[in-house]
Chains A and B, each alone.
Chain A
Amino acid sequence: MFKHNTLRYAVLVLLAAGALFQALTAEYFGLEILTEILILAMLVLALDIVAGFGGMVSLCHGALMGVGAYAFALLAGQAGIAPVLAMAGAVAFSGGIAWVIGAICARSHGIYFIMATLAFGQMAYSFVFESPVLGGDDGISGIARLDLTQIGVDLNDSRSFALFCLALLAVVYGASVLILRSGLGRSLSGVMHNEQRMRALGLTVWRVKADVFGLSGMIAGLAGALAAQHSMFISPGLLSWTVSGEALVVVILGGLGTLVGPLVGAVAFVVLKHELSAITTYWHLIVGVILIAVVMSRANGIFGWIEARWGARIERRVADATRKQQPDGVASDA
């Protein structure tokens, strides 16, 4: 089950403070980068729930995000529904799609699960790419942002939009923690560690997987609706499998199955990308080499590495304290 420890709280507070500071002080470009980080962070949270706590390594989360973005654009733009409702509809729609994908893929494991999700993601990509209603290759432009002027917030201002995304990300993080601590989340961990035993205990395994996948898809859909509003333009590229691959890279760079780690990863990835692409056009090469190095080091990403070091220190301190309490060196059974 997911637990917070002091380190996780500390990093969360640091990240939140940093984001708030950036949101309040940065100029236009800084705010754009911040918003990009926040949206990516939401997507990787969704991915970490299924991959880190359920062992379901999905390569269709980029597509789910794209589905959310397109659903929002269609509902708010073409159908003319109020943006708030359109956003709820987009979240529900991508959640539903994700539930179906999760239910179908629940029997597959390992590389087959990865491939099956990849297939569904690519199916969505090709569908959007080929369909003239959705703008095909050209995408859809002129997507309106949410209208919150009634409570005195103008989301067309990038500072307000960044703060709005930050608030939503905080809500999503809280929801993710709640999901993982609920009975469903605990069942999911059980399924990841020993699926057969959970089945023997009477659990409907595919239901658990599908439910969590659906919830994760809702988060990805929300990220998509935000991404559509952020750039006010969407194209099929949003659904491409490389987006899912990059999200997976971010989760791994940060630390799989830690929830906090992927947030760190999202910051590192976006900042790295912008810094590197300013220096060289070959930033993929550097990211690739870093990725290989991180995975080969066998540490669980940046945050996982810090946590392991921190855990080792705590253990040493506890061991020291126990030794002091028992100067005669009697081994305790505790």
Chain B
Amino acid sequence: MSLDLGFWALQGLNALQLSMLLFLLSIGLTVIFGLMHFVNLAHGSLYALGAYFAATLAGFGGYWAGFFLAPVAVAGVGVLLYSGLIRRMRKSGPMAQVLVTFGLIFAMLDLTRLFWGDLALAIEVPEVLGGRVALLGIEYPTYRLFIIALGLAIFAALAFVLGRTQIGAMIRAGVDNDAMAACLGINVERLFFIVFCVGCALAGLAGAVAAPLLSVTPDMGLQILIPTLIVIVIGGLGSLKGAIAGSLIFGFVQTFGAVLAPQLASVLIYALLAAVLVVKPVGLFPAKG
């Protein structure tokens, strides 16, 4: 193994790409939790659903149909979930929410198997993004760069919306103190609904962009769930800063751990999580102090 610049650039980009994928997933989950105090373990299933929708839609209208329509479809599923289950579970404790969404994981796992079968599906990368780009002395797949760019763009957009617009201020107020926000005339319930739908759409988007990289299987939602939860717990619940910081920490620790210390790699991230929880039990950048 040569530890030259190319190696670091390659692994750095890999880490960044993993981080951005996790960011797309964790931002929805963390804001839903911060705003609604709702623990949605089924977020990973929505991601899997996004990948399946994208795979199916790509069969009809090519990659971009899946890319744009899968998030919309997943948001639609989110609307159904919200009105059927989640609105009713709002006032229950975290325990009941964990269990209901755990049940949802079971149900959605088998529903995807029922509709799409057990075999893995694959999507082709669109031609525009199919090649490789020379960068920092290495050749890097364009599609992975596209994911990094997409993640950064979404981050910038969310940072702008949350930090600079009125609805962002309302969301932050709701996360900080929902009762007070409601007293000030903010329709917190509607806000919840919007945030939940956007979170679902982002999960669907993550699934759609991940589909060409990984094979689309029913248990992909379960596999991504633990990393996503680790990200939001390391980062601290409810904040954009926490989500991006947690994603970057996870992505880099996981990627560089795997190449530099393969024996320790898988234990490393959990040890890091345990250490964070011991030192700062509410994560690094929680939305509330």
Contacts and interface: CB of A to CB of B under 8 A. Distances in A.
Given A112-B281, A248-B99, A288-B105, A130 B263 contact: yes
Contact residues of B: prevailing secondary structure: helix
B22 interface: no
Given A111-B94, A126-B267, A291-B102, A118 B85 contact: no
A287 B99 CA distance: 12
B107 A289 contact: yes
B72 to A, nearest CB: 25
Bin the interface of chain A by size.
Answer: 35 or more
Interface string A118-146: 11101100110110000000000000000
Interface string A296-329: 1010000000000000000000000000000000
Interface residues of B, number: 41
A116 interface: yes
Contact of A284 (B39, B95, B109, B226): B109
Given A108-B277, A108-B281, A123 B98 contact: no
Given A57-B98, A111-B39, A291 B278 contact: no
Interface stretch (B1-9, B110-118, B120-128): B110-118
Interface string B71-115: 000000000000001001100101110111011111111110110
A287 B104 CA distance: 10
B233 interface: yes
Given A112-B282, A130-B263, A291-B103, A296 B89 contact: yes
A258 B92 CA distance: 20
A122 B103 contact: no
Contacts of B222: 242
B230 interface: yes
A242 B281 CA distance: 24
Contact residues of A: prevailing secondary structure: helix
Given A285-B111, A288-B104, A296-B89, A57 B233 contact: no
Contacts of A46: none
A53 interface: no
A110 interface: yes
A119 B103 contact: no
Contacts of B110: 282-285, 288
A288 B226 contact: no
Nearest to A112: B281
Interface string A257-285: 00000000000000000000000011111
Contacts of A248: 99, 102
Contact of B95 (A57, A112, A116, A292): A57
Interface string A235-246: 000000110010
B226 A114 contact: no
B179 interface: no
A104 interface: yes
A104 B266 CA distance: 20
A104 B281 CA distance: 10
Interface stretch (B58-66, B144-152, B191-199, B268-276): B268-276
A115 to B, nearest CB: 5
Given A130-B266, A282-B113, A284-B109, A292 B104 contact: yes
Contacts of B211: none
A295 B233 contact: no
Chain B CB within 10 A, most for which of A107, A111, A290, A298: A111
B36 interface: no
Interface in B147-192: none
Contacts of B20: none
A122 B226 contact: yes
Given A284-B109, A285-B114, A291-B102, A107 B281 contact: yes
Given A284-B109, A289-B103, A116 B274 contact: yes
Contacts of B100: 291-292, 295-296
A119 B99 contact: no
A104 B40 CA distance: 25
Q: Give me the 5 closest cross-chain CB pairs, A-B, nearest first.
A: A288-B106, A126-B266, A288-B107, A285-B110, A291-B103
Given A126-B267, A284-B109, 5 more contacts: A104-B277, A123-B267, A285-B114, A288-B105, A296-B100
13 contacts: A104-B277, A105-B277, A111-B94, A119-B277, A122-B270, A284-B106, A284-B109, A288-B105, A289-B103, A291-B99, A292-B104, A295-B100, A296-B89
